[in-house]
Chains A and B, each alone.
Chain A
């Protein structure tokens, strides 16, 4: 009889996710289902409101990847109203975007993912002197590498464990045979878990400077709310710029001297994880970080494109305005479509929630029935993976030198072929490599801002379309971004100065989606197939692969309208 492994809640993620895996006789995963177990209905709540307020509602879809929905939303409204934001606003939004990406990726690596690879209990056996030697070898320039520093960390850890109150570390999988790091590497990782926890609150102050707070900084349709004046102590000025520059320098050190060396060191102990977790092999990227306005796709730092079947010799063209490309299916989702339809464009948005799952409390879901609050978005009929690996592959396959260099550096250091990227470890590595690019671009964008200010431009907002009396009676638009977890797009229909319809297709819906009508699995499900499990009672291997995607379920599962009301049709205005 086959073994069924249920992981619910999947922890160290955002939101509520359930995974069920069915093992074959060799303890390999033969079937897997991914179920989003919450929804909130933000799109319905948006209806009839002022489009200029939409960013604030959308931002609350997620507080982990805070800002990304706000950014997509202001772009969406600006697209509908024909607003091009001033260059300073574009650069500042890029700075906020990159700040988010760097901070979020570092938190993911250390606080949400590292404990899948790092055994805290083993760290108790580490010799601080040997740990210092290891740290200095792995990252010669990083200052926190003395034996005394690691002795302090070891003492803190020992005291904590001796207290008998293990808090968030209790009842976990310590000693599991899949943990491979030596004690010293484990202690180094524990030290950096704590360093990253201290640092994440620093870099994010860039959001506070421009947006007043974090989480959930303020955005503005038409630009940014913070004004710039070099002659004022009450605006973005030299003091604020210096503050930002210092934070970027700090981030560069953390990424280059801590995160990347740790990533490569840990990866070197887990070469077998380049053979596990490849999944779909299909990748989708909308692109982002505009250098000449959001409509000039050719000038994005993250290029747009799609890859099918791991074919890196061809980058397919993607157009979010082409209504035939993205479709949502509900064959295994708790919804129904009218007239027996099986697949709809997101802007047709016909969504009737219809829970047909077991009555809670339940023990298991039925993989042959409907089993998730997530729909199944598909691109030209294909299930797609989105996120850092997709972005790095599309950049790499597009022949962008920056992408090729960081990828080839890492592969060279680990002595791995490019195909190693198609894996759980490849996905985790891609996130780190992307962070290297992001922190460089952060400095570039800061320099762009200073250059633009030196050129005499201090404008931060275009207010020509602020007043709703300047708007057409009816208009439609879309706004996209590359959230830390992948491609994100919002669609809006504005009528009589109010939101008539708002639609969102988010990264984790792509990745965590259930099977579609053709039986094609979503990215999580697909990546789990074939994974060997050493001990089904302790599902460490499942966590490794699922965490490699950095799930964000609050994002994924908001995309609903209740009561079977048909959302009005939106035609995309290019």
Chain B
């Protein structure tokens, strides 16, 4: 690039002295699994991100200061760097009863979020809580918990769903922004296409068993020991968009299906209310699961009894496998048998 060797020290120095992007990481109603996942990242490791890549100026989980000193930092950033910091949100905001179900520094989390979002450069909604509501927003959502995109408008929001998201997906999103100084390409519901573009099922190493009609029929059966397909045990891989079957978890050690349990679909909106988890999926939508509480028990018993027997023929599976699933397919409990 025609760079004079004598100039090299200045270039290196410029790179090293370039200010790191300030990040405010807020915690609302959540369980901190996203933060825990983040520090599991193997490439890059959390140390490199915190010390060399970003300036993590506010994060109540790791912050040395507490109380008003920590709130001071947030206020200062908002005032001195409007539009210059990235807002990462873990958890969501309760909206019922004036937001009293989550307060920080004496104010509602809803106010803290709104105030901080207003001057953010962009927002990363970490995990299913911030992206689509997750467990506290499951029926009957007693606190009126709402994900970020339902509360904040006029700002770019990147949804990174999962309970939690895979560590390297989290750090991948962050480093993409730093490297390209741009947001990653997002799909129609705000997820980065690079990590949520395909279904787990489409890339699953057990897919060949699905196609061959070889299924785990009961826990710890011969099929389980041979690592056959978990579709009949309720696996949500066919309707879940995530990178679990490619990146796997904790630096590629395994992923839920690889360790013998079906995917529960934790990166999909409303996954908690699309159960029970051990009822197998069907592409056939059968209404009724919410009909009456009495019916649920009966139906559940019947469906599961069939599920654990050997009655499910490969026909159903083949019917499913030949019908390509589309974005519109939703996981529904199969009570058609």
Write the residues of chain A forming the contact surface with B, with a CB cutoff of 8 angstroms.
6-16, 18, 37-42, 44-45, 48-50, 52-53, 56-57, 60-64, 66, 111, 115, 120, 156, 159-160, 163, 165, 167-173, 194, 197-198, 200-201, 204-205, 207-218, 220, 222-229, 232-235, 243, 355, 357, 359-363, 373, 458-461, 463, 466-469, 496-498, 538-539, 543, 554, 560-563
Contact = CB atoms under 8 A, between A and B. Distances in A.
B250 A496 contact: no
Interface residues of B, number: 108
A212 B138 contact: no
A41 B227 CA distance: 37
A360 B111 contact: yes
Contact of A40 (B108, B145, B254): B145
Interface stretch (B4-12, B183-191, B300-308): B300-308
Interface of B: 16-17, 19-20, 22, 27, 29-37, 39-42, 45-47, 50-51, 54-57, 59-73, 97-109, 111, 134-136, 138-143, 145, 163-164, 167, 218-220, 224-227, 244, 249-251, 253-261, 264, 266, 272, 275-278, 293-294, 296-298, 300-302, 304-305, 308
Q: What is the interface of chain B mostly: helix, strand, loop, or mixed?
A: mixed
A227 B251 CA distance: 22
B273 to A, nearest CB: 9
Contacts of A463: 218-220, 308
B316 to A, nearest CB: 19
B1 to A, nearest CB: 26
A347 B225 CA distance: 40
Nearest to A64: B32
A62 B67 contact: no
A273 to B, nearest CB: 18
Shortest beta-carbon contacts, A-B, top 7? A63-B33, A234-B227, A212-B256, A41-B142, A212-B259, A225-B261, A172-B64
Nearest to B279: A50
Contacts of A373: 101
A558 to B, nearest CB: 9
A164 to B, nearest CB: 8
Contacts of B298: 496
Best-surrounded residue of A7, A14, A543 (most CB of chain B within 10 A): A14
A131 to B, nearest CB: 19
Nearest to B102: A38
A167 B50 contact: yes
A440 B110 CA distance: 46
A497 B135 contact: no
12 contacts: A9-B66, A11-B60, A38-B102, A52-B276, A63-B32, A168-B64, A169-B64, A201-B40, A208-B253, A214-B249, A468-B304, A498-B300
A170 B250 contact: no
Nearest to B254: A208
B106 A39 contact: no
A350 to B, nearest CB: 16
A212 B257 contact: yes
A226 B40 CA distance: 22
Contacts of B107: 360-361
